[in-house]
Structure 1
Amino acid sequence: MQNSPISTLMIDSRRFLVKRDDLINPYLAGNKYRKLYTLLKTPPKKLKKIISYGGTQSNAMLAIAAMCKRKAWEFIYYSKPISETQKLSQLGNYYRAISLGMRHIEVEYSLYRNFIASLRVSIDADTFIIEQGGAVKEAKKGLDVLAQEIREENLDIKSLATPSGTGTTALFLALALPEHKVYTTPCVGDVRYLKTQMQALHELPENLIILEPKKKYHFAKPYPEFYVMYKKLLDAGIEFDLLYSPAMWEALLSQTKEEILYIHSGGVSGNESMLQRYLAIDARKSNL
C-alpha cells in the first residue's frame, strides 16, 4: 500500500496537518491497519484462527474481521452480552464484522473477566490472540512503518497527536520518533488507566505527553460535546470518528498552541450507528 496522504485542516484559526490513515482501506484503516501490520504480512498458511475480545462497537473488531476474511482465517470474538436490538441492526461495525464472517460468542458478565484471562491456557500454534483494541507488542512494526513515512515527508513539525484507547499507537509512535513530542489523551477511562495499559507493553518515553481530558469517558457512550466537535471538524473538511477523536481534539485545542500533525486513527465506519444514537437523543429532546 502507498503512504497515506497529508491534508491541511483549519479549525479555531489554527492550522493542523492530518496524516490521512483513514484513507488506507475502508475497514483496515487508521491505527488498526498499523497495529495489524505484522499479521497482514503473515503468510495465510501460518495461522488458522484469530481470537479477540472487547466491545461490539469496536473498530479493531471490524478491522480484524476484514483481515481474517482476506487471509481465510477463522475469527472468534468474545464480548459481554449485547442487546437484541444490536444483533438485529443492519448498521455499524458489529453488523459488518458478522457479514465478514466473524463468529461472535457472548460471555456472561460474572464470568467474563476470568474467561478472558483463561484464553491463553490451551492456545495452539495455529491460533493467535489479539488483546482488546489490538494492544499487542507485534503492533510495534506497523508503527515503525508509520514513523518512517512521517520522516520521509520532511515536515517542519515536531509535535504529533493521536487519541488513545489502550495507548498502543501513541506509545509505539513515541518510541519510534524520539525527536518528536507525541500528544495523546485517554478516551477510555482516565490517565492512570491509560498509563497502566501502556506500561504493560513498554516503559513510557519522555516525549510521550498525556493531556488530561475534561472528564472520564466511557467507550461508545454518546456525549453531546463529542457530537458538537464531530460536526465542527466535519465542517472544517474532514470526518473523524465519534468515539475517540472528539476528546483528542478538545484537548489539543485547549491545551496546546504549536502546529501539530494529527494521525487520523480511522474508525469512521462506526459513525453510521453512532450517529443514529445521537439523532435519537436529539429527537427525544425535541419532543420534551
Structure 2
Amino acid sequence: MLKIITQEILLQDTTIKLFIRREDLIHPFVSGNKFRKLKYNLLKAKEESKKTILTFGGAYSNHIAATAYAGQQNGFKTIGVIRGEELESKIFENPTLKFAHQCGMKFVFVSREKYQLKTSTFFIKELQQAHGDFYLIPEGGTNDLAIKGCEEILTEQDNKYDFIACSVGTGGTISGIINSSLNHQNILGFPSLKGDFLQKDICNFVNNNNWKLITDYHFGGYGKVTQELIEFINLFYKTNAVPLDPIYTGKMVYGLLDLIGKKYFSENTKILIIHTGGIQGIEGMNLKLKSKNLQTIKFDD
C-alpha cells in the first residue's frame, strides 16, 4: 500500500487553492511515474518468464536509473541502450549511468542516428541477436501497461479538484491521469519538449477529451534550462520545502504559477499538481551548470 502525500501550496492574493501530490516520495530510487510505469511491466515480464529487461534512454534518464534498480530488486538482468557513443568512456563521471551500473545494468551505447531506430523491428531484432531474449520496455517506459499503472495515481478522494496538472515527456503519465479523471475535471499537460507532436501520441491512449497541452514552458526544449528556471526551483524549495527537477516538474510548476498570475483560472478553482519525481537527475544537471560557471540547484538551507 503506497502512502499518498498531498500538501497545499500557499498562494497569495488569490482564492485559487493549489495542492501537490508528492509522487516523488513513494520510493527512494523508483519514484514518481517511474514506479507507476514499471509496476505492471515487471509483473508481465515475470509472467512471461523473462530473465532480462531491455530499455532505452539518454545520459540522465530517470527511466534508466529506475529500471536498473527495479530490475535488480526483482531478479532481472537489465540492459540499457544509451543515446550517445561518447558516453561509453564517461560512465563513472555521469551520476545516472554510474548508479545504473552499480545496480548491474549492462549498457549498449549507440550513435544518436542509430538511437532514432529504437522502435524499428530491424533494430530490435539486431538487439535480440546480440543479447538474447528480453522483455522490451520503450524509452520513457510508456506502453499500455505503463498507462495502466499511471491510472492509479488519482484516487477517489481527488474528485474535489477542478484541474490536474502534470509534466509530459513521452505522454504515458498524462494518459493514465486522463483515463482515470472525472468528467468535471480538466487535465493540463506541460511538455518538456518543443512542438505539439505528443498530441497524436496521447490520443492513441485516451478516449476522454478533457485535456490540453500547454506548450509555452519548455524553456528551449528537452534538457534545456535557463538561470530564471534554476532561480525559480531554488526559491520554490526555500518557500515550500518541495524539490523540483529542472527537466520536468520545475517547468510545469513554473508554467502553472505563471498561468495563475495571468488569471487563466477562475476564482476558487482547486488545482492538483502531480509531482512525477525526477530528482535523481539534478546531480547530473548541476555538473553541467558548474562546468559553465552557472548557478546550481540547491536544496539546503
TM superposition score normalised by structure 1: 0.86
Cα separation, partners in 2 of 1:40 and 1:3, compared to 1, 3 Å? farther
Q: Answer yes or no: is 1:144 the counterpart of 2:155.
A: no
d(CA) in 1 for partners of 2:118 and 2:22? Answer: 37
**What is the match of residue 187 of structure 2?**
182
Moved more, 274-283 or 163-172: 274-283
What displacement does 1:101 show?
Answer: 0.8
**What is the match of residue 40 of structure 2?**
38
- Where do 1:1-288 residues align within 5 Å? 1-11=1-11, 15-42=17-44, 44=46, 46-79=49-82, 80-83=84-87, 86-89=90-93, 92-114=95-117, 116-117=119-120, 118-121=122-125, 127-147=134-154, 150-151=155-156, 153=157, 156-179=160-183, 180-190=185-195, 192-199=196-203, 201-203=204-206, 205-214=208-217, 217-235=220-238, 236-255=240-259, 256-257=264-265, 258-282=269-293
Cα separation, partners in 2 of 1:112 and 1:154, compared to 1, 3 Å? closer
Q: Is the 8 A contact 2:237 2:243 kept in 1?
A: yes
Cα separation, partners in 2 of 1:100 and 1:161, compared to 1, 3 Å? same
Q: Is the 8 A contact 2:147 2:175 kept in 1?
A: no
Moved more, 223-232 or 96-105: 223-232
Q: Is the 8 A contact 1:222 1:278 kept in 2?
A: no
What displacement does 1:84 show?
Answer: 6.3
What displacement does 1:194 show?
Answer: 1.8
d(CA) in 2 for partners of 1:130 and 1:279? Answer: 33
What displacement does 1:66 show?
Answer: 1.1
Moved more, 45-54 or 265-274: 45-54
Cα deviation, 1:264-285, whole Å, max 9, x if unaligned, reads 101111112212322333359x
What displacement does 1:170 show?
Answer: 0.6
CA root-mean-square deviation? 2.6
What displacement does 1:44 show?
Answer: 4.1
d(CA) in 2 for partners of 1:172 and 1:115? Answer: 23
d(CA) in 1 for partners of 2:22 and 2:179? Answer: 21
Q: Is the 8 A contact 2:219 2:251 kept in 1?
A: no
Identity value in percent:
21
Q: Is the 8 A contact 2:10 2:18 kept in 1?
A: yes
Amino acid at match of 1:101: G
- Long gaps (5+) in structure 2: 296-301
Amino acid at match of 2:177: L
SS of the equivalent of 1:230 reads helix
d(CA) in 1 for partners of 2:12 and 2:227? Answer: 19
- Long gaps (5+) in structure 1: none
d(CA) in 2 for partners of 1:134 and 1:170? Answer: 13
Amino acid at match of 2:31: A
Amino acid at match of 2:168: S
d(CA) in 2 for partners of 1:115 and 1:59? Answer: 18
Amino acid at match of 2:175: L
d(CA) in 1 for partners of 2:233 and 2:24? Answer: 15
Aligned length: 278
What displacement does 1:63 show?
Answer: 0.9
Cα deviation, 1:158-202, whole Å, max 9, x if unaligned, reads 211110011110112111113321111110232x22213323x42
